[in-house]
A = this chain, B = another copy of it.
């Protein structure tokens, strides 16, 4: 077999995997958005069957032979060619998938499935001890997983790599630490300011749901989301999903008294969907047509949610429209009041409710704990104490109980250790890209005030989306901005914006 023939076979296999993957995507979307409740059991069985089919396809030993037939050939001589990128990532996926013995994967899955209910009960009762045995088992299995996967430096690297390919614990630690050293005192300054917003404007007034929905669609369509390839629906937890070229959907949830909840979740999911919509469609189903990493994905959602959607320029354009939608509710509110209200900074216990300033501190705390667990053997029963100590240190609050602390996130009960850092990496990448976009496009933010967002989308398409997985995240940031990932662009953004708002 020639390398070209082997590569064509790999492409065909990738396509079949993509068919099954997007079929699973449709089943998953339907489950969250439409499925009658009595359909749950069969749906779970269908999904499990399709997962098995997918896993079998992804771990077929013939893939190894096909990859071997290409890897040393001229076809992949240029490491930035489509072929080289695909082969590099297929190799990575295949190796990760086959390093774990099948019975280990099955055991891990069983433990995780059983842990869901236990975690939910523990959280409801605010009692970590209920969940501790399950978490202990998950941690032991996760450590074993790291050994199976292998690593050069720290075991945590092997886990991080599953969500942020090639990323290293030490590199994340370097940037996070630098950020925290500036962020924590900056948060203190903000809290001490005598200038404070009135968040009740956006969190406790009447915002009829149907109007919220339309306004969200107006904003997201303005950002460039193509609704001939998308739709907005309601689900318990907001998400975005790519169901094939021309079909990227987003969801939100509505609260008739809270504007922020749905509006910014719509902008957030719009950012994810814009990335997926603007990946090169001709490479759909291959790494060359896929997102570079979870961190880069999150950089896109955070860019549109925060750097655009929470900017003064955006609200200069969008507040008059918003007031047309809610004339009574906002009769006594100025654009400045509203802009300040959607940017209110307030340390709280719950990560998903956190503002732009405090959010990253929530992530750093989890990152520290995960490292302690995986690299330093922190005993499971000591996790709550570490959580509460760090929380006091980073955010200045005493955690009242475990449901508002260590039990709040679903991730660990799903066995997802190593995922959290991608959220903060997203904020960091987003700020660094955005600073570059502003440097490249004079008047970028002024254009927002006129409702013009396509210059930014074009820039993101050209510098980020079009590359798919061509570059690893940490290389992409250097290609695009000329610098490695740094805390400085994010810190500069926060200082400028919140310094002005809070008159520091």
A186 within 8 A of B: no
Tell me which residues from 111 to 128 in chain A have a Cβ below 8 Å from any Cβ of chain B: none
Known: A37-B228, A228-B38. A244 touches B26 (CB 8 A): no
Q: Is the CB of A38 within 8 A of B231?
A: no
Stretch with Cβ within 8 A of B (4 or more), from A42-50, A131-139, A402-410: A42-50
Residue in A23, A230, A249 whose Cβ sees the most chain B Cβ within 10 Å: A23
Known: A16-B49, A36-B230, A37-B228. A23 touches B22 (CB 8 A): no
Known: A27-B26, A244-B46. A229 touches B19 (CB 8 A): no
Question: Which of B22, B34, B50 touches A231 (beta carbons < 8 Å)?
Answer: B34
Q: Is the CB of A247 within 8 A of B42?
A: yes
Question: Which of B38, B39, B246 touches A41 (beta carbons < 8 Å)?
Answer: B246
Tell me which residues from 62 to 83 in chain A have a Cβ below 8 Å from any Cβ of chain B: none
A227 to B39, CA, bound (A): 11
Q: Is the CB of A231 within 8 A of B23?
A: no
A38 to B243, CA, bound (A): 11
Q: Is the CB of A23 within 8 A of B27?
A: yes
Chain B: minimal CB distance from A52 (Å): 10
In the complex, chain B residues whose CB is within 8 Å of the CB of A23? 23, 27, 46, 50
Question: Which of B40, B226, B243 touches A246 (beta carbons < 8 Å)?
Answer: B40
In the complex, chain B residues whose CB is within 8 Å of the CB of A49? 16, 19
Give 1 or 0 for each of A242-280: 1 = CB within 8 Å of chain B CB. 011111010000000000000000000000000000000
Q: Is the CB of A26 within 8 A of B36?
A: no
A458 within 8 A of B: no
Question: Which of B29, B42, B50, B229 touches A244 (beta carbons < 8 Å)?
Answer: B42
A479 within 8 A of B: no
Known: A16-B49, A43-B244, A46-B23. A227 touches B36 (CB 8 A): yes
Q: Interface residues of A: mostly helix, strand, loop or mixed?
A: helix
A35 within 8 A of B: yes
A60 within 8 A of B: no
A182 within 8 A of B: no
In the complex, chain B residues whose CB is within 8 Å of the CB of A27? 23, 26
A29 to B34, CA, bound (A): 11
Q: Is the CB of A19 within 8 A of B39?
A: no
Question: Which of B34, B36, B243 touches A39 (beta carbons < 8 Å)?
Answer: B243
Q: Is the CB of B39 within 8 A of A246?
A: yes
Residue in A39, A40, A49 whose Cβ sees the most chain B Cβ within 10 Å: A39
In the complex, chain B residues whose CB is within 8 Å of the CB of A40? 246
A95 within 8 A of B: no
Chain B: minimal CB distance from A56 (Å): 12
Question: Which of B38, B46, B284 touches A19 (beta carbons < 8 Å)?
Answer: B46
Q: Is the CB of B229 within 8 A of A36?
A: yes
Question: Which of B41, B45, B231 touches A36 (beta carbons < 8 Å)?
Answer: B231
Q: Which residue of chain B has the shortest Cβ distance to A226 in the bound complex?
A: B38
In the complex, chain B residues whose CB is within 8 Å of the CB of A483? none
Q: Which residue of chain B has the shortest Cβ distance to A243 in the bound complex?
A: B39
Tell me which residues from 149 to 188 in chain A have a Cβ below 8 Å from any Cβ of chain B: none
A74 to B57, CA, bound (A): 39
Pairs A–B under 8 Å by Cβ, sample size 13:
A19-B46, A22-B42, A23-B23, A23-B27, A23-B50, A36-B246, A37-B228, A38-B228, A39-B247, A40-B246, A41-B246, A42-B244, A42-B284
Q: Using A16-B49, A29-B30, A39-B247 as known contacts, list a sample of 11 further A-B pairs with CB atoms less than 8 Å apart, ordered by residue number in A.
A: A19-B50, A22-B46, A36-B227, A36-B230, A36-B249, A38-B226, A38-B228, A38-B245, A38-B247, A39-B229, A42-B243
